[in-house]
Each structure stands twice: as structure tokens, then as C-alpha cells.
Chain A
Amino acid sequence: MLFINLAGIFLIALIIWWFWLYAPKSQRQVSADKDNAVIDIVVQDGVYQPATITVSAHKTAILNFIRKDATPCAEMVIFPDLNISEELPLNKAFAITLPMLEKGQYLFHCQMQMYKGYLIVE
């Protein structure tokens, strides 16, 4: 029983670490450091690919969302801090032009937050 309890506590600790404490350093990310750089983001199977995007501060960039998931959840992409909220057509590229941004991390997600991604401005 002790082993089971310890395993349970370990699992809980793992959940906390994996979902909340882990810093996304080694995650696959795509960077853009020139004006009007275009980054393709595929919306499929519950994730944005890539989910972490790095762009340069004070430069415009374009995020080209290509939605391949027909679930209604994937339909919208929202950047709450940037007041951007757009409907993504299925199997088509949809460009969102980012304004020049201050350094920081900006979350983007679908309406129900099932899809999540990070825009890192540095």
C-alpha cells in the first residue's frame, strides 16, 4: 500500500511539474528576426505546431495558421493580450499580422484553451 501511495504522490508531483513548472526551453520553436517574417503554424490534433514561436521585438511578423482539424474547438485562435481573435478556415492558410511588440511572452489559444501556444518576443 505504501508503494501505491508513493506512486500516487509521485504522479501528482509529475503532473504539477510537467504541466505547470516546466519551462519550455527545449521545446521545438520557430524564430523570426526580420521584418514581415512569415511563420507557418499547423493547427492539428490538439496542438499548434510549432507551439512556441519566437519573434524579434519591435518588428512585425506574420503568423500563417493552417487549420487541419475540423473540431469546432480549433476554429478560433485568440491572442488575449493583443486583442486578436480570428476564425481559421479549414485546410487553408490564414495570415495574422502581428504588430510590433514589446519583449515578453504572449499566450495564444483556442476558445476553450485546448490548443495553446506561446509567442515569445525577445
Chain B
Amino acid sequence: MSLSKSLTLTVYGMSCNGCASRLQTALNAIEGVHAEVSFASNRVDLTIEKSVDYENTIKSIKTLIAEKGYTSTLPIAETASDQSQSAEKSSHSNKNSAESPANTQELLIEGATCASCVSKIEKTLNALPDVQQAQMNLALRTVSVTGHAATKTLIQAIESAGYHAKSTGNASDQDLLEEKNQAEQTYYHKLMVQMWIGLALGGGLMAYGLLGGAMTVNSPTERIVWFIIGLFCAGVMYFAGKHFYIGAWNSFVNHNANMDTLIALGTGTAWLYSMVVVIYPLALPEIARHVYFEATAMIIGLINLGLALEVKARGRTSEAIQRLIGLQAKTARVIRDGQDIDIAIEEVLLNDLVRVRPGERIPVDGIVNEGKTTIDESMLTGEPMPVKKSSGDEVVAGTINKSGSIIFQAQRIGKDTALAQIIKMVKRAQNSKPPIGRLADIISGYFVPVIMIISITSALIWLNFGPDNSIAFAVVSATTVLIIACPCALGLATPMSVMVGVGKAAEAGVLIRNGEALQNASKITAMILDKTGTITLGQPKVTDIYPVNAMDENQILQLVASLEIGSEHPLAEAIVESAKERGLSTDKVEHFNAIAGQGVEGQLGDKRLLFGNQKLMREQHIDLDQKSLEISAEMANEAKTPMFFAMNGELAAIIAVADPIKDDSISAIKRLQNNGIRVIMLTGDNQETAKAVARKVGITEFFAEVLPEEKSQKVAQLQAQGEIVGMTGDGINDAPALALANVGFAIGTGTDVAIESADITLMRGSLNGLADAISVSKATLRNIKQNLFGAFIYNTAGVPLAAGVLFPLTGLLLNPVIAGAAMAFSSVTVVSNANRLRFFKPQEH
């Protein structure tokens, strides 16, 4: 204990920067103490010099904080000597991982405020034996550490230096979620208590009025009684409604107005008027000496109830993201030094060997090293069938190992896993707003001041043209207008539905990039489907070899495979694969050249080889006899792709390659067509093959023989016809077309979410995902429209009603308490309507 100590306290109760500044001055006055107080983060960073008695100084600090009226947490303190201990521990705990390759991890630091903190943290971390380099970014409050050290060791070391640290990985999502739920629960209880305070007084007074009690001030006794009730009401306003008044005032001084402004003005007007009636009854005509304390208390109670219900309902809107976060395993079983050890998920390092038994969740992304199993990926991709996995296959975090035990090598950890990326993407999309919400935003910007103006105008009209006790009518109408108006319903209409809709889509394996994509997807009139890999499996196979000259099938296949081995085209892969299956070896081809949209050419010894479509043969002046043409047409009619092989300027063979159609492509295409969408197939195949495939899957329109660079032209062509075009492809060679389309859909391979060019990513290969995406977006947009319509109608009908437009006809004026109830439940209604989307089942639409 001979070195100086740094420690951090969390202090509660400071309400302004002034409090923080005064506390800092007082703390610095204690001998041997250097303090920095932050109001923003409720923190006190302390350094206690070695020359003073540590325990006594701590006591003095805590006493001073308590004397100032604040509460503080226990200090989180470590000394430099503790650092060495933890360094020792870290060295011990990490020796097992020393042989694995170095990795970089990021930690979030709390409590670092200056350059010296940065230097201290970096020095502490760099002193650890398993750390190669530690670098801190003060602006981002993050430290990036390269080496073998486990996260826990790093956190211990940082905390021993007097700071807080946590992993920025996926585990923090769970912590964040738990904290959020906890905070919401606390807030809900607080609101419920405030509701009961409001309703207890308001309800009692209302019952008294309904049972025939006079709510007027006509005698000195009544004045005293009502004065006392008025004070109770002020108590209600303070204890149950303080947040409205503080919020309203803060907004006002910032030239802003919000819901708090309306509630504060409405309840304040009713209370003030009632107090005037009680204190100076003579200032008002006898008929107008009515008190409205019950309205003030009831409104505060009801609006707190509305807020509490809204908190509950809002919690349900984020169920989908909560479910995704819940997929993350908390621990992993890694093999270190030949032994299985269970560690926290954030301690898993890159290249760690991880063992997963049947029934367990995959903790991080990786490649299977040992074992065979089936894995349920439905929670991420929506694909119900378990997927077989064996050595060399990829496994992703969050999925469930069903049958066998496997060992895999960790490839992506923390925030880099596919699951973490999906969570990030869904969260971002949930928070974005589609263009349809812009009008509501513009209106929200002007809403509250406009309501205030309407309220004043309404009061003036009553005062000028109202009956005898017009002042009471003016107060009631002004109050009711302020209370009934609900900017929240307007503001919530769009985001709540987007939140649920995007979450719902994610559950079906559909990742929507943002609100705009969601809205556009609901309006699609034409959908272009790239044939290969979208309608078909994208794994073509050789089905027929038709020799034209004297060579046999194997000779032909060997030559063509030798030529195609250098090509990356899916058809080339089919040829090479087929040659491998027959045990044929390939030779080295020279002068290889790929001719885009046509085929390939090359030289093998004295043979000039050409392999490609009919167009290539035409361009290269290869004669195709009538029989060859007939055979190729027949192959095309069977939805196979005929490819021509020419050697030394003469046709040698025709090879048919077919790409099997996915099982559910036909039903998914039908679903799209039933939704009124014009479905068009796009392919590089010739007319006949394209026609045959299109016929098989029930498509009448297609673009055939389209070169890769022409895909975007086809999108533009349809857009020029006035169509809102969706383009579906694999996201690799379709990028320009996906980007140009109104909505680009990328069919992902399992959990590959990094398809930047797409607006919507379908995590499973099925085209049903496409139909699901469109169904969900349509349902979400319908829900947004219902919400917006409801919110607009509520306000446009409610405000004039509150102002008393019906009074000349019916003699009725809306009671402010009813307005309060309506206002409280309007936003709950919007959130609840959005929640209806949770029950939406895309398969049925």
C-alpha cells in the first residue's frame, strides 16, 4: 500500500454542473486528494497520494459526499502492487494459449479522461506478458489489444489501474438488454406509483362530483376545504407530475415544445384557475366559480398510466431482437493444452478449438475440424431442415448442434460473428424510418406550438362569443385542447411498426437494410429473378455429351475440362466436376481466354479449342450442321444448356449442362404472381433453354442471352416502362443491377450477411424468402398507414371537439378528464396496433 491509488466513485444526486464543480472543489480541499467530478457520467475520479493515510482519506471523502447530500458507491480501487499480482495471474492463465496466433480484441474503457489515463492504461496492458501491443483511442474510449491475453485478464489489469473495462463483443448486447429491461421495469413501477397518486386524489374528487357534491366555491368553509384540496393537488403535481413540468420548462428555454409542454400547460391552467376561484372568488362571476382540481389530478394519473402501458407495449415491439440476442451462448468449451475448459464467450480467442456436443449451441463462428453432425440453422436462416456439417464446413454462432459431437476452429468471434452482424443490421434497420413517416415528422415539428395557438384561439372565441359564464368554458376548452392533442401518437406511428416489421422479417431469415427498402419492397410491381442460383440451385451438372466427330465421351470431356479448369463460370465447374467423377486428368492449356457471355478458348498442343454457346460458334465461324442444331434445340427444350465444343475450327461435340430447379421455386414464384407482381426471369442462357426453364417454373416473361453487364440495362428498361423493379441475384456479379433496382434482393449463402449491394438479404436460398419479404413489407406498410391514419384522425377530430365545435349544436363540451384518458391511450393504441404485426405469418400471404 505504499504507492498512490486511483479510484472511481459513482455519485448519485448531483442535478447540475454547478453541484459537480462544488463537489470537486470540496474534495480537492482534502489533503492528498486530487479529484475530477463529472456531472454527465455521475463519476468522481480520485487519486490519493501515498503520503496520506488511505483508509482515513476514503472515510473523509465518503463523509464529505454524504454531507453534500449525495450518495456514492463503494470505491473501485486497486494499487500498482495489485497490478503486478494481476499481471502474474494473467501470465498464469494465458500460458496455455501462448502458441496460438495473436489476435486483436477491443475493450471499452470507462473513466479515462485525459492523455495520462491513456498512457497509464497502455502501459498497464503492454506490461502483461501475453500482450504484444495495446493502443487506446481516447475519443472512442476503446483500447485495441493484440496478443494472446484473455479478455478477463485484460479487464482485470485495466480495473487494477483504476478504470472500468468491458468487451465490445456480443456479450455486451446481452448485458445491455438486461440493463434495458431492468431500467424499463423500474421506470414502469415508478410510473404506476405516480399513477396511483394521481388517481387516488382525482378519482376521489370525481366520485364526489358524480355523487352530487358541489365542485364550486360559494362559502368561506368551502373556500378553506378547497384550498386544502388545492394544496394536496399541488402535492400530486409535484410527486406524480414533476417530470412533466421540468421537461416542459427545459424545452421552453430551449425554444422547443413537446408533449410535456401540453400536459404542463393543460394541468397548470386548470389548477391555477381553480386556485384563483378559491383565493379570489370575487374576481369571477358566481356561475364561473368552479374548481377543476379533479381534472388536474386525474389527467396526471391517467397520463402516467398511459406512459406505463406504453413502456410495456414497447418492450414487446423489440421481441425479435431480444430473441436474436438470446441466441448467443454465454460459455464455450475450448480445448487448451489438450484439456477441455469451459470459459466465458468473450474469452474465446481466434483459432481456439471449440468442442460442441449434441444439443448445445455453437458459441462462435468457425470451421469444423473433427466430427460430423447436423445443425439447426432455422433461428438464423428460417430454413427448417437441419444442415449436415463435416470437416471443412462452416458453423455459425447461435445455431444448435443436433446430432453429433464436433470440434471446430474459431474463425470469427465477438462482434465479428454472423449473429452479431445480423443483430447490428436488424437494430439499425429497426431504427430507420421509411419515407412514409416524413410527413408525420414534419407535422410533429410544428404540432405543439400550433396546438397552443389553437388553445388560445379557442379560449378567446369562448370569451367573446360564449354564454354568461364564458370564462369557465374558455378555461375548460383551452385545457381540453391542450390535453387531448397527442404528438406522441404521430411520432410513434411509423417507428413502432418498422420495429416490429423488420424484426418479424429477421425471424423469417430476411434482413432488411433500412426503412426505405421496406417501403419500396411493398410497392414492387415487377420482379427480375436471375436464373442461376436464384431459381435454380446454381450447381449445374453435365447431363448429355453428344460427339459429332470420332472422339469418345471421355476424350471430349477431358479436353473440355482441361480448357474449363481456368474458368470461374458455374458451367465450367460442372464440366470439371464431371471429369473428376470419371477419373479423368486435365492437361495444361495455353493462351486461355474467357470471352464474356460466349465461352472460352485455348491451345492444347496443336489443338485450338473453343467451348461456349452458339453465339461463340457463330463469331468464330464454326459451321453447325442441321442435326447439331436440332440436338441442341432439343436439349434446350428440356431446360438444359447446350454448349458447343469445337476443335481446330470444326465442331467436335455438344455438351448439355443442366442446373436443377430448387424445390420450392415454383410455389414461391406463384406466391409472387398472386401478389400481383410481374415476374421476369433473366439468364445468360440461349432463348430455348430460357424458355424451357421459364415454362417449368411458371414464368411467361424472360430475358435470355443477357451478358453480366447488361443486367442493369434490363432493370432500367423495366423502370422506363413505369415499373417499380425488384432485382434478385446472388449479390456477387449482380451488384450493379441490384444497386440500380428499386429494391435489390440478394440470396445469401446461409448466414452470409455481408452483401453490401442489396437492400434486402435473404439468408436462406429459397425464393419463398423473397415472397416473405414482400408480404412482411406490405403488412408493415399497411400497419404504418393504419397508425398514421389513426393518429391524424384522432388529432384532427379530437382537437376541434375539445375546442367545443359541437357545443352550439349539442350543448356539450368535452370534459378535460376524458381528454386526458383519450390522450393517454392514443399512443398505447398505436404501439398495440404495431404489436399486432407480431402475429403476422408471411407463409399465408
A residues near B (Cβ < 8 Å) are 1, 4-5, 8, 11-12, 15-16, 18-20, 22, 24, 27, 36-38, 40, 42, 45-47, 51, 62, 64, 66, 70-73, 76, 78, 80, 83, 85-87, 89-93, 95, 97, 111-116
Q: Which residues of B contact A16 (CB under 8 A)?
A: 449, 453
A27 in contact with B254 given A1-B463, A85-B428, A113-B445 (CB within 8 Å): yes
CA–CA, A5 to B457, complex, Å? 9
CA distance A11 to B187 in the complex (A): 36
Asked if A114 and B260 sit within 8 Å, CB to CB, the answer is yes
Nearest Cβ in chain B — how far from A19, in angstroms? 4
- Complex contact A91–B445 (CB within 8 A): no
Could you tell me the distance between the alpha carbons of A37 and B139 in the complex, rounded to whole angstroms?
7
Q: Residue of A at shortest CB range from B429?
A: A85
Contact B433 A1 (CB under 8 A): no
Nearest-neighbour CB distance to chain A for B167, whole angstroms, equals 15
List B contacts of A46 (CB < 8 A).
246-248, 250-251, 256, 258, 260
Q: Are A111 and B491 in contact (CB under 8 A)?
A: yes
Question: In the bound complex, do residue A19 and residue B255 qualify as a contact, i.e. CB atoms below 8 Å apart?
Answer: yes
Q: Mark B182-193, 1 if CB is under 8 A from A, else 0.
A: 011011001000
CB of B431 within 8 A of CB of A71, answer: no
A114 and B140: CB pair below 8 A?
Answer: no
Q: In the bound complex, how far is the Cα of B465 from the Cα of A5, in angstroms?
A: 12
Q: Which 6 A-B pairs have the closest CB atoms?
A: A112-B491, A46-B247, A114-B258, A85-B431, A70-B187, A36-B139
Does B290 reach chain A (CB closer than 8 Å)?
no
Inter-chain contacts of A80 with B (CB < 8 A): 433, 441
Q: Which residues of B contact A71 (CB under 8 A)?
A: 187, 243, 307
Q: How many whole Å from A107's CB to the nearest CB in chain B?
A: 9
Which of A36, A78, A97 is close to B431, meaning CB atoms less than 8 Å apart? A78
Residues on A with beta carbons closer than 8 Å to the beta carbon of B487? 112-114
Residues in A with CB closer than 8 Å to B258 are: 46, 112-115
Q: How far is the CA of A72 from the CA of B243 in the complex (A)?
A: 13
Give 18 new A-B contacts, CB below 8 A, not counting A12-B453, A51-B254, A71-B243. Answer: A1-B464, A4-B460, A5-B463, A15-B449, A16-B449, A47-B247, A51-B256, A66-B41, A70-B183, A70-B184, A70-B186, A76-B495, A80-B441, A93-B41, A95-B141, A111-B492, A112-B487, A114-B247
Q: How far is the CA of A37 from the CA of B140 in the complex (A)?
A: 10
Report if A114-B259 is in contact (Cβ < 8 Å); known contacts: A70-B186, A89-B179. Answer: yes
CA A86 – CA B424 in complex, angstroms? 11
Residues from 90 to 126 in B contacting A, C-beta threshold 8 Å: 110
Give the distance to chain B from A94, nearest Cβ to Cβ, in Å: 10
CB pair B41–A12 under 8 Å, yes or no, is: no
Contact of A42 among B40, B444, B457, B490 (CB under 8 A): B40
Chain A contacts for B445, CB-based, 8 A: 113
Residue from A4, A15, A64, A87 in contact with B453 in the complex, judged by beta carbons closer than 8 Å: A15
18 interchain pairs (CB within 8 A)?
A11-B456, A27-B255, A36-B137, A40-B40, A42-B39, A46-B250, A72-B184, A72-B310, A73-B259, A73-B488, A76-B495, A89-B179, A112-B492, A113-B444, A113-B487, A114-B259, A116-B254, A116-B256
Interface residue? B180 (CB, 8 A): yes
Chain B facing A: main interface SS: helix
Do B452 and A15 touch across chains, with their CB atoms under 8 A apart? yes
- Docked pose: A27 CA to B141 CA in angstroms: 29
**A15-B453, A46-B260, A114-B487 known; A62+B140 contact, CB < 8 A:** yes
Residues of B within 8 A of A (CB): 39-42, 110, 137-141, 176, 179-180, 183-184, 186-187, 190, 243, 246-248, 250-252, 254-260, 307, 310-311, 314, 427-428, 431-433, 441, 444-446, 448-449, 452-453, 456-457, 459-460, 463-464, 487-488, 490-492, 495, 514
**A113 to nearest B CB, angstroms?**
4
Instruction: Select from chain B the residue with minimum beta-carbon distance to A11.
Output: B456
For residue A82, give the distance in angstroms from its CB to the closest CB of chain B: 12
Specify the chain B residue showing the minimal Cβ separation from A76.
B431
Q: Which residues of A contact B260 (CB under 8 A)?
A: 46, 114
With the chains together, A91 CA to B179 CA distance in Å? 10
**Given the complex of chains A and B, what is the CA–CA distance between A64 and B108 in angstroms?**
13
Cβ–Cβ < 8 Å partners of A66 in chain B: 40-41
Minimum C-beta distance from A67 to chain B (A) = 10
Cβ contact within 8 Å between A78 and B433: yes
- CB pair B180 A89 closer than 8 Å: yes
Judging by beta carbons under 8 Å apart, are B183 and A24 in contact? no
Given A5-B464, A85-B433, A90-B179: A45 in contact with B246 (beta carbons within 8 A):
yes
The answer, among B311, B314, B457, for a CB contact under 8 Å with A12, is B457
Docked Cα-Cα span, A44 to B843, in Å, equals 44
Task: Name the CB-closest residue of A to B257.
Answer: A19
| Chain A residue contacts of B259, Cβ below 8 A | 73, 112, 114
Q: Is the CB of A72 within 8 A of B449?
A: no
Nearest CB of A to B593, in Å: 44
In the complex with contacts A16-B449, A42-B40, A87-B427, A72-B314 CB distance below 8 A: yes
Give Cα distance in the complex from A15 to B454, angstroms.
Answer: 11
**Closest CB in chain A relative to B117 CB, distance in Å:** 13
**Interfacial chain A residues near B257, Cβ < 8 Å:** 19
Bound CA–CA A113/B110 (angstroms): 30
Q: Which residues of the other chain, A, contact B140 by a CB distance below 8 angstroms? A: 62, 95, 97
Cα distance A71–B459 when bound, in Å?
A: 32
* CB of B481 to closest CB in A, whole Å: 14
Contact of A90 among B141, B180, B247, B491 (CB under 8 A): B180
Partner of A45, one of B41, B42, B176, B243: B243
Docked pose: A115 CA to B448 CA in angstroms: 13
Q: Which of A8, A22, A76, A86 has the most CB of B within 10 A?
A: A8
User: In the complex, are the beta carbons of A47 and B250 less than 8 A apart?
Assistant: yes
Task: Considering the complex, give the chain A residue whose CB is closest to the CB of B307.
Answer: A71
Q: B460's contact among A8, A37, A78, A86, by CB below 8 Å, is which?
A: A8
- State A114–B514 Cα separation when bound (angstroms): 23
Shortest A14–chain B CB gap in Å is: 10
Given A97-B140, A114-B487, A86–B431 Cβ distance below 8 Å? yes
Chain A nearest CB, measured from B182 CB (Å): 9
Looking at the assembled complex, report how far the CB atom of B375 sits from the nearest CB atom of chain A, in whole angstroms.
Answer: 31
Q: How far is the CA of A62 from the CA of B243 in the complex (A)?
A: 29
> Bound complex: CA of A76 vs CA of B498, how far in Å?
14
Q: Which of A5, A15, A112 is packed against the most chain B CB atoms within 10 Å?
A: A112
* Chain B residues with CB below 8 A from A93, complex form: 40-41, 110, 141
Most B CB contacts (10 A, CB to CB) among A38, A46, A80 go to A46
A46 to B432, CA, bound (A): 22
Chain B contacts for A15, CB-based, 8 A: 449, 452-453, 456
**Residue in chain B with minimal CB distance to A41:** B40
Known contacts A72-B311, A76-B431; decide if A47 and B42 are in contact (CB<8 Å): no
The reply to whether B250 and A112 form a contact with Cβ atoms under 8 Å apart is no
Shortest B24–chain A CB gap in Å is: 16
A1-B464, A70-B186 given; A8·B179 CB < 8 A: no
Assess the A112–B444 pair: CB atoms within 8 A: yes
> Given the complex, which residues of A lie within 8 Å of B186, measured CB to CB?
70
Chain A nearest CB: distance from B618 CB in Å?
A: 49
Name which residue of chain B comes closest to A38, CB basis: B139
- Minimum CB–CB distance from A59 to chain B (whole Å) comes to 12
For A85, list chain B residues within 8 Å (CB): 428, 431-433
Take A78-B431, A85-B431 as given contacts and tell me if A19 and B139 are in contact as well, using a CB distance cutoff of 8 Å. Answer: no
The contact of A18 among B110, B246, B247, B255, by CB within 8 Å, is: B255
Q: Is the CB of A8 within 8 A of B246?
A: no
B460 and A5 contact, CB distance less than 8 A: yes
- Distance between Cα atoms of A113 and B258 in the complex (Å): 8
Nearest B residue to A113, CB-CB: B444
Q: Report Cα–Cα, A93/B491, bound state, in Å.
A: 25
Cα(A20)–Cα(B250), bound, Å: 17
Which residues of the other chain, A, contact B41 by a CB distance below 8 angstroms? 40, 66, 93
Centre residue among A22, A47, A62 by max chain B CB count within 10 A: A47
Determine the chain B residues whose CB is within 8 A of the CB of A72 once the complex forms.
184, 307, 310-311, 314
* A113 and B441 in contact, given A5-B460, A85-B432 (Cβ under 8 angstroms): yes
